[in-house]
Amino acid sequence: MAGTRASNTPSGDRRVRRTRSALARALIELVEEQDLARISVSDVAEGAGVSRSAFYAHYRDVHELAEDACTAMIDGLIESLPAPAFDSADLAQEATRSLAAFFASLSAHAGLYRALLGPLGSARVVEHTRRRIADVIREHLVHTGTGEPLRRIPHDVTASFTAGALIGVAIDWLQAGCSRTPTEIAEMTWPLLQGYYRIDTRDEDSAR
């Protein structure tokens, strides 16, 4: 990640990757037990089995490590999600399944996501998340297309709108302690997106 202390170290250095992975794992475990603001460099270094000097060779502080770990997880999450096709006969089912997987991944590390995506979190992480989701949606729109009236709206506008809506739902859900299950929140989110995209699954059902 640009901005970290070890940015000039070759990315292929196994020791660098191993140390960063250990630090990220230690932080993720700690943040599930206590607030991010209360976690010290010593806490993370001890959990990772490295020295404080080793920590500072890679990151300026715990917050920078948290941003690095969170954006890496977001990248992995977005890349792993299946994208439902708008012309699928089972669009509602596919879309809900994909959304449920998205929310389930967030809940698996709710402590870290809650800290960095929340109101006192990281603008860098929020923007990174929004941009990654928007990029995936934009690419999907280009390849599959949509019905009217979205065909008249530039894909970048539709993608930005959708990404912002998803992040808004996710942030509120995380801040509420994930009080609804990933499947429940996905089933509530899909009809809202469906209404925006003007997708009528009843027509698809009657055509089968």
Q: Which CATH number fits domain 14-65: 3.30.420.40, 1.10.10.60, 3.40.50.720, 1.10.3720.10?
A: 1.10.10.60
31 pLDDT band (50/70/90 cuts)? very high
The CA distance from 88 to 75, in Å, is 26
Query: Are the C-beta atoms of 34 and 47 separated by less than 8 Å?
Result: no
Extract the tokens encoding 30. Answer: 């700690």
CA angle at 89 for the pair 183 and 201, rounded to the nearest 5°: 70
Burial class (CB in 10 A: 0-12, 13-18, 19+), 143: exposed
The model's pLDDT over 123-170, given as tens digits with 9 standing for 90+, comes to 999 999 999 999 988 887 776 655 555 567 788 888 899 899 999 999
Mean pLDDT value across residues 3-25: 74
195 pLDDT band (50/70/90 cuts)? confident
Query: Are the C-beta atoms of 190 and 184 separated by less than 8 Å?
Result: no
**CATH 1.10.10.60 domain position(s) in the chain:** 14-65
